[in-house]
Amino acid sequence: MPDPRAQGALSPAGRTEAVDAAAERLGALLAGYFSPLEKLAAAVVATRAASPSPSQLTERALLHLEGSMREALEGAGVVGVGYIAAPGIVENRDRYLLWWQRKDDAVTRLRLNFDPSSVDVYDYLTMDWFVRAREGAGHVVYGPYVDYTGADHYIFTLTAPARSAEGEYLGVAGCDVLMTSVERALIDALRECPRDTVVVSSERRVIAVNSPRWVIGARLPTMPDAGSGDFVAVADVGLDSGWVVSSAVPEE
């Protein structure tokens, strides 16, 4: 049977179905990571509502969430998980992070420098995974990137906002996931795509491919758009991830 990728003979419906199926698989993959983060974010909101001083959280109250965080660490490839607060939400803290990190068989609390006068300050208030959640994204996927400050691995950071019933932004529940753990699922999702197909992040970074046509980690000049340039089908992975799966016409 002729190779439809080589022949360029796929119908528009065939192109779209393959790309849609790959996007659906990747959406399910991300949903598996976001589910415990949503529960953690809800627990933060509930802890704030039950606080004797509902205008602020206390570290003592937040430490009761340690069990939920450690449970979230059991996810495949998850090397860190926790709560990162918006300014002024935690009592006597302008910046606050309650984060548990797995290294080999040990789980320890991560402690970072939040002193704004320090040269190595960890200013998470400017980081995309925090800013995009603050600006209204229901979920954020950032990366992959090398996290030299925290996990010291090639990771994705996923976050879900914690918002009060009144809509106040309390910060995010987040996790770090190893790229190596996600890589196989990415490859499997593209395996059934008969055309050259690429997964692109919200930063226009190439995350996965099924052909040597694109370089992993390279940034595309623009986001793929069906009917624009070489791309003939584009599907949004969803969950506010910003990821898209895109197939292209065969190269000459």
Instruction: Quick: pLDDT tens for 169-186.
Output: 999 999 999 999 999 999
Q: What does R_g of the chain's alpha carbons equal in angstroms?
A: 20
The superfamily in CATH containing domain 58-181 is: PAS domain (3.30.450.20)
Q: How far apart are CA 90 and CA 214, in angstroms?
A: 45
> Higher pLDDT residue, 167 or 251?
167
- Of 144, 136, 95, 141, the closest CA to residue 118 belongs to 95
Residue type, 121: V
Which residues does 107 contact at the CB level (< 8 Å), separation at least 6? 70, 73, 100, 101
Q: How far apart are CA 58 and CA 68, in angstroms?
A: 17
> pTM value?
0.90
Alpha helices in the chain (DSSP H): 4-7, 12-50, 59-62, 66-72, 128-134, 179-190
Beta strands 196-200; 78-85: pairing state: unpaired
The pLDDT value given to residue 7: 39
The pLDDT value given to residue 15: 64
Across 19-27, average pLDDT = 96
pLDDT tens per residue across span 191-234: 989 899 999 999 999 999 999 999 999 999 999 999 888 899 99
- Of 7, 18, 90, 17, the closest CA to residue 56 belongs to 90
Tokens found for residue 206: 């190439």
Tokens found for residue 163: 């918002």
CB hemisphere CA count around 166 (13 angstroms): 6
Host H or E run for residue 113: none
Tokens found for residue 242: 């910003």
Q: Is the pLDDT of residue 54 over 50?
A: yes
Reduced DSSP (H G I as helix, E B as strand, rest coil) percent helix, strand, coil of the chain, to 5: 30, 30, 40
CB count, 10 Å around CB of 158? 25
